[in-house]
Amino acid sequence: MQIIEVKVTPLAVPDVPLANTKGVHQTVFLRSLIEVVTSNGIVGLSETYGAKRTLKGLNQVAPLLEGLDPYDLRDLRRRIDSAIPANRGINAATALTDHKLADVVYSAFEIAMLDIQGKSIGRPLFDLLGGAVRKSIPFGGYLFFKFAKQDLTFGPDIMGEVMTPDALIEQAKEFRGKHGFQSWKLKGGVLAPDLEIETMLKLRETFPHHPLRIDPMGAWTVETAKQVVDKLDGVLEYLEDPCRGMDDMARLSAMIDMPLATNLVVVEFEQIIEAVRKDAVQIVLADHHYWRGATGVSHLGEICRAASLGVSMHSNSHLGVSLAAMCHVAAATPSLTYDCDTHYAWTTKDIVQGGPPRFDAGKLRVPEGPGLGVELDQEAVAELHDLYNRAMMVDRDDTDEMLKYVPDFVRKVPRW
Ligand SMILES: [Mg+2]
Could you read off the pLDDT of 267-301 as tens digits, one per residue?
999 999 999 999 999 999 999 999 999 999 999 99
- Provide the residue type at 304 as one letter: C
**Report field, pTM of the whole predicted structure over 0.85:** yes
Average pLDDT over residues 160-165: 98
Are the C-beta atoms of residues 237 and 213 closer than 8 Å to each other?
Answer: yes
Same domain, 353 and 310: yes
Are the C-beta atoms of residues 319 and 356 closer than 8 Å to each other?
Answer: no
| Angle between helix 101-121 and helix 73-83 axes, rounded to 10 deg | 150
Q: What tens digit of pLDDT does each residue of 134-162 get?
A: 999 999 999 999 999 999 999 999 999 99
Distance of CA 152 to the CA centre of its chain: 25
How many Å apart are CA 191 and CA 63, to the nearest integer? 46
Q: What tens digit of pLDDT does each residue of 24-34 get?
A: 999 999 999 99
Average pLDDT over residues 373-392: 98
Residue 154 has a CB neighbour count (10 Å cut-off) of 17
- The answer for 155, left when phi > 0, alpha when psi is -120 to 50, beta otherwise, is left
Q: Burial of 153 by CB count in 10 Å (0-12 exposed, 13-18 middle, 19+ buried)?
A: exposed
Phi, then psi, of 284 in degrees rounded to 5: -105, 135
Are the C-beta atoms of residues 163 and 146 closer than 8 Å to each other?
Answer: yes
Residue 141: the pLDDT is 98
Residue 203: the pLDDT is 98
Average pLDDT over residues 224-243: 98
**Ligand 1: distance of its center to the CA of 216 in Å?**
8
> What integer best gives the mean pLDDT of the chain?
97
Phi, then psi, of 44 in degrees rounded to 5: -90, 135
Same domain, 39 and 136: no
**Ligand 1: distance of its center to the CA of 358 in Å?**
24
Same domain, 307 and 347: yes
How many Å apart are CA 238 and CA 261, to the nearest integer? 7
Enumerate residues 6+ apart whose C-beta is below 8 A from 238: 213, 258, 259, 260, 261, 282, 283, 310, 312, 338
Residue positions annotated with a catalytic role: 187, 314
Residue 374: the pLDDT is 98
Q: Is residue 349 part of a domain?
A: yes
Number of domains the chain contains: 2
- Nearest alpha-carbon partner for 323 in 303, 341, 348: 341
Same domain, 60 and 102: yes
Q: Name the band, by pLDDT with cuts 50, 70 and 90, for residue 198.
A: very high
Residue 92: the pLDDT is 80
Protein residues within 5 Å, CB atom, of ion ligand 1: 215, 263
Q: Is residue 415 part of a domain?
A: no
**Ligand 1: distance of its center to the CA of 121 in Å?**
36
Q: Name the band, by pLDDT with cuts 50, 70 and 90, for residue 355.
A: confident
Same domain, 171 and 96: no
**Ligand 1: distance of its center to the CA of 353 in Å?**
30
Are the C-beta atoms of residues 50 and 31 closer than 8 Å to each other?
Answer: yes
Q: What tens digit of pLDDT does each residue of 57-87 get?
A: 999 999 999 999 999 999 999 999 999 998 8
**Bridge partners, 185 (sequence order):** 142, 213
Same domain, 104 and 226: no
Residue 93: the pLDDT is 75
Q: Is residue 102 part of a domain?
A: yes
How many Å apart are CA 47 and CA 32, to the nearest integer? 6
Q: Range of 25's domain?
A: 3-122+379-390
